[in-house]
Amino acid sequence: MFKTEICDLLNIEAPILQGGMAWVATAELAAAVSNAGGLGVVAAGNAPAAIVEEQITKARELTDKPFGVNIMLLSPFIDEVVEVVHRQKVSVVTTGAGNPGKYMAYLKEYGAKIIPVVPSVAFAKRMERAGSDAIIVEGTEAGGHIGELTTMALVPQAAQSVSIPVIAAGGIADGRGFLAALSLGAKGVQIGTRFVCSTECIAHNAYKEMLVKAGDRDAVVTARSTGHPVRVLKNRFVKELLAMEKEGIGLEELEQLGAGKLRIAVQDGNIQDGSVMAGQIAGLVSDIRPCKEIISTILQEAHQQLNQLNMLKGE
């Protein structure tokens, strides 16, 4: 059930990809998602190439299944990271926060499947022309660095504008969201926030608990004025930041204030002074469970939901 062309393309059981979340998406999380039948993804984030290589090696120790690496295009180490991914011949590469165009031919040399994350139809088309194997279209519901369109509006427009498979991201955490994404024309989903609250995720327990406690309006957007808006859970740091933004603080100063804040939240559990990136669906996440259970529950719920909808047909 729910086998799609994404399963064949990536050689996976369920068309569920894990988001490439900086600091959070380590080898442990990626391997757990891949072992559960989805596609785990190691996030390069802003890490130096040697760390990324270590994580790839570790993921290979923890799983025999395919996994991917997410390269974050704003990284100061981007060229070296791409070189490592090439040397290690990682089978799937997802990209975020920019245009991967200049790396596509190089990564295709060894047969990488390239799946850029994009925030618009125009970008989706450009990435199709550049030779992408699929695209992840990410709605503004997502956590971290975001675009402007909602998943509901973006997915069907992208799906009818490109012929490569579309994967929906942003605001998906259960079987209803998964099935809705397929209804909108997606052939798979990328899920971030729900996987943060997994037992295998190495994020500090305080980070996970903050997500579990979050309500529907707790994930807010900061740094809009920089042109790089970021969705995070509201805390002391975010309230101060938003107040300063209102007063017209400079871009450089704002970026300085954000530097290192994700790490202290994820690793040290400093959830008041750090940046607790999360999507709007955080309000739906109410427990911390193994990745295997998260994935099997999503598929089961989707199946049930499909039956429910079928029963409505006679009414």
When the beta carbons of 113 and 261 are compared against ligand TUI, the nearer one is: 261
Residue numbers 97-116 binding ligand TUI by CB under 6 A: 97-99
Piece of 24-32, 118-126, 176-184, 284-292 that binds ligand TUI (CB under 6 A): 118-126
Piece of 24-32, 117-125, 202-210, 241-249 that binds ligand TUI (CB under 6 A): 117-125
Sole residue written with tokens 């399963």: 7
Q: Name the helix (H) or strand (E) containing 144.
A: strand 144-145
When the beta carbons of 72 and 285 are compared against ligand TUI, the nearer one is: 72
Structure tokens at 283: 């309000």
How far apart are the C-alpha atoms of 39 and 44, rounded to whole Å? 16
Closest approach of ligand TUI to the CB of residue 152, in Å: 16
Piece of 31-39, 49-57, 139-147, 182-190 that binds ligand TUI (CB under 6 A): 139-147
CB-based contact 302:2 (threshold 8 Å): yes
| Near ligand TUI by CB under 6 A: residue from 146, 159, 189, 271 | 146
Size of the site for ligand TUI (CB under 6 A): 18
| Near ligand TUI by CB under 6 A: residue from 176, 228, 263, 289 | 228
How far apart are the C-alpha atoms of 167 and 191, rounded to whole Å? 10
When the beta carbons of 138 and 174 are compared against ligand TUI, the nearer one is: 138
DSSP state of 219: E
Closest CA to 132 of 97, 101, 157, 155: 101
Is 72 one of the binding residues for ligand TUI (CB under 6 A)?
Answer: yes
Closest approach of ligand TUI to the CB of residue 149, in Å: 10
How far apart are the C-alpha atoms of 10 and 91, rounded to whole Å? 8
Enumerate binding residues for ligand TUI (CB under 6 A): 22, 72, 74, 96-99, 117-119, 123, 138, 144-147, 228, 230
